[in-house]
Structure 1
């Protein structure tokens, strides 16, 4: 089994929960259909480090390198929010450590077998066996991307 070398260059970043940076936020939301009346542009502040983290001590940001997950909306240079406290489950997207290298893939559990599924038809699934050095490092909870 081999992992495409362009798919394992994940950059791990720990959120700064002591940061005092507050970003202005309009809490009422914005209509994605027809325009809605402005409600005096009520403005609050948001701390994305805290907003995107359910478990502060187990949350990491990871920058993606590669395109094996594009059909899941995860592109090269996106930032993933990963929670290490969540239990792995079928169809969850996970950061996995396989034979000394990190990769992001969708989990596919079958009877007595685990596959790491890419979301790009140009990549092959990775079958995980007892011979592999394998750890599910964390579960992806959010994707932050530049448009």
Structure 2
């Protein structure tokens, strides 16, 4: 049974893993709760939810309309998916740090990489830690 009066932000968790292959008899009760804030957010003061517009990161599992969880306290590194501000334009891209300079790369090959010119104003707003993907 699902407990009434669960803590705000807590969601009931099934006591067994649900097979993605062949069906198995289901349980009709939940044994515990999961606090999504505790599970998904490591630093509440530096974490934000951002809605995604566009398909440039679809191969990374980030689709139009999804919400991403962005931690502004994390240091970006080569390969991080980041929310970047390039010359006052927001974008979600994979950060590539190369010998030739910084590149903001889409995971979708239909979008060309953005080579950041040396005199451009680039700020990494935050690092993407999770994607809440809509199915």
For the criterion TM > 0.5, the same-fold answer is yes
Q: Does 1:24 align with 2:17?
A: no
Unaligned runs of at least 5 residues, structure 2: 1-6
Q: Give the C-alpha shift of residue 63 in structure 1.
A: 0.3
Q: Kindly report the root-mean-square deviation, in angstroms, between the aligned alpha carbons of the 2 structures.
A: 2.1
3-state secondary structure, aligned to 1:60: strand
Unaligned runs of at least 5 residues, structure 1: 1-18
Q: Which shifted more, 44-53 or 19-28?
A: 19-28
Matched with 1:47 is: 35
When the two structures are aligned, how many residues end up with a matched partner?
Answer: 129
Work out which of the two has the higher radius of gyration on C-alpha atoms and give 1 or 2. Answer: 2
**TM-score, normalised via structure 1 length:** 0.77
d(CA) in 2 for partners of 1:101, 1:115: 15
**TM-score, normalised via structure 2 length:** 0.83
- Of 56, 69, 73 in structure 2, the residue corresponding to residue 81 of structure 1 is 69
Question: In 2, are the aligned partners of 1:50 and 1:56 still within 8 Å (CA)?
Answer: no
The higher-RCO structure (CA 8 Å, 6+ apart) is 1
Q: Give the C-alpha shift of residue 73 in structure 1.
A: 1.0
